[in-house]
Amino acid sequence: MADIWSVDEHLADVLRAVRPLEPIELPLLDAAGCVLTEDVIVPAPLPPFDNSSMDGYAVRAADVEGATHALPSVLSVVADIAAGSGDLPTLFPGQAARIMTGAPLPPGAQAVVPVEWTDGGTGGGPVDSMLAASAARGGGGEVRVFQPVAEGEHIRGRGSDAQAGGVALTAGTLLGPPQIGLLAALGRGTVPVRPRPRAVVLSTGSELAAPGEPLGPGQIHDSNSYMLTAAAQAAGAVAFRGAAVADDAATLRAALEDQLIRADLVVTSGGVSVGAYDVVKEALSGEVDFRRLAMQPGKPQGFGLIGPARTPLFALPGNPVSAYVSFELFVRPALRAMAGHGEGALHRPRVTARLVTDAPLSSPAGRRQFLRGAYEPDDGTVRPVGGPGSHLTAALAAADALIEIPENVTEAAAGAELTVVLLG
Ligand code: AMP
Ligand code: MG
């Protein structure tokens, strides 16, 4: 195994090791945001019956041919058909049925005259709404029609949306709100999808106090586990945050064993460099490969498959910026691959941007640097936010992009064209 791994080698190794999760049948709302694993066939025509696209009158086209304001067609109103009506009268010549949007077209009707083209059954001039005239009436009376309609007009035909036997959605489709709506319209209660991966996030470090707790001497608040849990959620995972684990290998192993039961993937932070208390390394070496990556930040980290289910574990460095950059570059693609997303949807979008900076940026030789930046889509520029220090969480929070400085570049001056990772 290489002594130093490039960013691309490490990513390829991670993506080789992770597998899409086994499909499960989920209720529609639980399936939202998930990837469909089978084609969905249209079981019955959509809409299931011819229905009106307007509030108006269902008529026979010949009955209103040539109708004008001066010479309206006068039809007798034989029924009042609301959406959801089941029993429908047959329309004979000279007859109309008042009909609401979405209501089934009665047999014999060929078109719907919008209420605006009629007197609304008032017997007088046009009205804004039919409600005034005939709400209380189950049909009856007459309607004057002032304009002709063509056969089929203002009718949504059975199957005009989706034909029975057709493919509604193909396997691999990401189920967003419109797809969930279509599935519901087709009458599907559940669908087979890849589940959201369950990610467990654990911080290590005896210096860590929970946010909301006062700090003792030498303590800092645990920010990584919150940041990484939120990042896992944003990547589409169901994320669980464990309490911070003290720097003790046995404690860490016990915490991991507790958590493995509910994890498809584990992320730890801290304890992976070469210090005396680098317990993640101590607790997991053997199963997890600890390596040095040719990148900055994020040089030391571990990746491996642990426990009986060979659960992917990412041991990220403790510095918050290092942990976050590593998550974006390696963990997020892994989570998305497990969720069944295709190759094109694993990674954050990358664009080329022109660097705006007062002083040239320096970057270590042989390492790919990821600086925090603010991207300006209007003119395609990016400017650095804060310095390269991997403890700079305030600058990270002000950034929306990572500026990538390649391994073979040691200085980037204003105007340099650089790849930028958009963090969304
Ligand atoms: P380590 O990799 O454990 O040596 O940690 C490197 C640096 O990151 C140290 O300054 C730690 O205090 C800091 N650090 C580690 N874990 C966290 C955490 N969960 N939240 C905030 N800072 C952390
Ligand atoms: Mg530590």
pLDDT tens digits, one per residue of 34-45: 999 999 999 999
CA of 421 to the centre of ligand 2 (A): 28
Distance CA 200, CA 260 (A): 8
Distance CA 228, CA 210 (A): 15
Give the mean model confidence (pLDDT) for residues 51-68. 98
- Is residue 131's pLDDT more than 70? no
Q: Give 93-113 pLDDT, tens digit per residue.
A: 999 999 999 999 999 999 999
Which of 229, 269, 282 is the pocket-test mutation for ligand 1 (most atoms within 8 Å of CB)?
A: 269
Residue 124 confidence class, pLDDT cut points 50, 70, 90: low
Give the mean model confidence (pLDDT) for residues 204-216. 97
C-beta of residue 21 within 8 angstroms of C-beta of residue 197: yes
List all residues 6 or more positions away from 137 whose beta carbon is below 8 Å from its beta carbon. Answer: 80, 121
Distance CA 36, CA 58 (A): 41
Tokens of 26: 């989920």
What is the per-residue pLDDT for 138?
A: 57
Q: Give 253-282 pLDDT, tens digit per residue.
A: 999 999 999 999 999 999 998 777 889 998
Residues in contact with ligand 1 by the CB-under-6-Å rule are: 203, 205, 207-208, 220, 222-225, 269-273, 275, 317-320
3-class DSSP string for the chain = CCCEECHHHHHHHHHHHCCCCCCEEEEHHHHCCCEECCCEECCCCECCCCEECCCEEEECHHHHCCCCCCCCEEEEEEEEECCCCCCCCCCCCCEEEEECCCCECCCCCCEEEEHHHECCCCCCCCCCCCHHHHCCCCCCCEEEECCCCCCCCCEECCCCCECCCCEEECCCCECCHHHHHHHHHCCCCEEEEECCCEEEEEEECCCEECCCCCCCCCCEECCHHHHHHHHHHHCCCEEEECCCECCCHHHHHHHHHHHHCCCCEEEEECCCCCCCCCHHHHHHECCEEEEEECEECCCEEEEEEECCCCEEEEEECCCHHHHHHHHHHHHHHHHHHHCCCCHHHCCCCEEEEEECCCCCEECCCCCEEEEEEEEECCCCEEEECCCCCCCCHHHHHHCCEEEEECCCCCEECCCCEEEEEECC
CA of 310 to the centre of ligand 1 (A): 27
- Is residue 126's pLDDT more than 50? no
CA of 272 to the centre of ligand 1 (A): 10
Taking a 5 Å cut-off on Cβ, the residues next to ion ligand 2 are 205, 270-271, 318
CA of 279 to the centre of ligand 2 (A): 8
C-beta of residue 277 within 8 angstroms of C-beta of residue 207: no
What is the per-residue pLDDT for 128?
A: 45
Tokens of 408: 């073979």
Domains of the chain: 4-21+195-345 (3.40.980.10), 26-47+165-193 (3.90.105.10), 51-156 (2.170.190.11), 350-422 (2.40.340.10)
Pick the residue whose CA is nearest to atom 3 on ligand 1.
270
User: Which atom of ligand 1 is found nearest the CA of 273?
Assistant: 2
What is the per-residue pLDDT for 135?
A: 45
Give the mean model confidence (pLDDT) for residues 137-142. 74
Residue 3 confidence class, pLDDT cut points 50, 70, 90: confident
User: Which atom of ligand 1 is found nearest the CA of 207?
Assistant: 12
Q: Give 172-194 pLDDT, tens digit per residue.
A: 999 999 999 999 999 999 999 99
- Is residue 25's pLDDT more than 90? yes
CA of 324 to the centre of ligand 1 (A): 12
Pick the residue whose CA is nearest to atom 10 on ligand 1.
319
CA of 205 to the centre of ligand 1 (A): 7
User: Which atom of ligand 1 is found nearest the CA of 280?
Assistant: 3
The ligand with the least distance to the CA atom of 219 is: 1
Closest of 361, 346, 363, 348 to residue 295, by C-alpha: 363
Q: Give 372-417 pLDDT, tens digit per residue.
A: 999 999 999 999 999 889 999 999 999 999 999 999 999 999 999 9
Q: What does R_g of the chain's alpha carbons equal in angstroms?
A: 32
Average pLDDT, the chain: 95
What is the per-residue pLDDT for 155?
A: 98
What is the per-residue pLDDT for 278?
A: 87
CA of 191 to the centre of ligand 2 (A): 43
What is the per-residue pLDDT for 122?
A: 82
Kindly state the percentage of the chain with pLDDT values over 90: 92
What is the per-residue pLDDT for 276?
A: 76
